[in-house]
């Protein structure tokens, strides 16, 4: 009986020892407390989170992404340069004209004063005409050439402002404008001499031809500063300056035509047909031809 008790006790002990080893091998501990709160995963830092956390940190752009550049604004072009192109060339032409005017006005001032007085006084005009007949023709001729220079420059500025091109360089265009003005007045003087030679009004035609020269000299004095202001004035003032210059030209042309009527007063009653023929062919037709040429270029 006692042997059975010891055998039963040994079997129970072996069973308890085996069960304990099995629990230790699996790692389960019924008496161990498991934490209920789980640890939060640590967030990895990225360039985006860095950018949000630190606004002062500079981040280099990733490769392959285009870099957006600020738009480049076009250079601002002044109204004068837009209208007339090369301002340095214009400055040279205008300075040459002003220098020539300064030299001639300084050396030929008495003759210029007489021309100014002759515009307002008919007796002074007759006096300087007699002086010219005695041999004092060169001073008036030099001042007349100065008018061609300033009138040609004024015509060049009008063409450039109206954007009328002739496929020429600026230098050739200025020279062409000066020669064009000189040719027009030369042909008019030749025509007046021919009319005076054909009809018995040679003296009157000669006085009228000299009158054209005197009024043109004074007009050249007016166009010299006008060219400088037109070339470098703002766009709003260019219209006013050109309009004022054209009004001055028309006014002097009207006064000159009226002076011509006074010279032909003795012949109007007997030769009215010839006078009207002269007015139409010499005074009106050239103006209409020039107007037609300009409008054709603008069209």
Tens-digit pLDDT string for the chain (299 aa)? 556 655 666 666 655 555 555 555 545 555 555 555 455 555 555 544 444 556 666 666 555 555 555 555 544 444 444 444 556 778 888 889 899 999 999 999 999 999 999 988 888 888 898 888 787 888 999 999 999 999 999 999 988 887 777 777 888 888 899 999 999 899 989 988 888 888 777 888 888 899 999 999 999 999 999 998 998 888 888 889 998 999 999 898 888 888 877 777 766 666 677 667 777 777 777 777 777 776 776 66
Q: What is the pLDDT of residue 213?
A: 93
What is the value of pTM for the model shown?
A: 0.67
Whether 179 contacts 155, CB under 8 Å: no
Q: What is the pLDDT of residue 299?
A: 60
Q: What is the pLDDT of residue 226?
A: 92
210: tokens are: 């000299």
Nearest in space to 203 (alpha carbons), one of 129, 275, 117, 144: 129
Q: What is the pLDDT of residue 59?
A: 60
Q: Where are the domains of the chain?
A: 80-298
Q: What is the pLDDT of residue 58?
A: 61
14: tokens are: 């072996």
- What distance in Å separates the CA atoms of residue 256 and residue 119, rounded to the nearest whole number? 9
Q: What is the pLDDT of residue 92?
A: 85
Which 8-state DSSP code applies to residue 265?
G
Nearest in space to 202 (alpha carbons), one of 137, 255, 267: 267
């Amino acid at each position: 009986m006692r042997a059975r008790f010891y055998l039963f006790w040994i079997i129970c002990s072996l069973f308890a020892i085996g069960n304990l080893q099995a629990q230790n091998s699996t790692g389960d501990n019924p008496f161990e407390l498991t934490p209920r709160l789980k640890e939060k995963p640590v967030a990895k830092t990225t360039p985006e989170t860095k950018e949000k956390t630190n606004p002062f940190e500079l981040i280099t752009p990733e490769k392959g992404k285009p870099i957006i550049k600020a738009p480049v604004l076009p250079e601002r072009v002044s109204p004068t340069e837009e209208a007339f192109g090369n301002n340095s060339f214009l400055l040279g032409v205008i300075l040459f004209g002003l220098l020539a005017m300064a030299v001639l006005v300084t050396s030929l001032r008495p003759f210029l004063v007489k021309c100014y007085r002759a515009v307002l006084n008919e007796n002074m005009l007759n006096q300087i005409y007699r002086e010219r007949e005695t041999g004092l023709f060169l001073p008036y001729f030099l001042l007349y050439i100065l008018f061609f220079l300033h009138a040609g420059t004024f015509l060049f500025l009008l063409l450039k402002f109206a954007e009328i091109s002739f496929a020429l360089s600026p230098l050739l265009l200025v020279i062409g404008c000066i020669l064009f003005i000189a040719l027009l007045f030369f042909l008019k003087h030749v025509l007046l001499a021919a009319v005076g030679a054909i009809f018995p009004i040679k003296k009157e035609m000669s006085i009228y031809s000299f009158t054209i020269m005197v009024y043109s000299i004074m007009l050249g004095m007016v166009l010299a500063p006008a060219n400088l202001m037109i070339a470098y004035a703002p766009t709003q003032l260019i219209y006013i300056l050109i309009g004022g210059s054209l009004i001055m030209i028309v006014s002097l042309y009207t006064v000159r035509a009226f002076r011509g009527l006074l010279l032909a007063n003795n012949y109007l009653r007997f030769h009215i047909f010839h006078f009207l023929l002269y007015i139409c062919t010499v005074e009106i037709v050239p103006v209409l031809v020039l107007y037609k040429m300009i409008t054709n270029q603008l069209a």
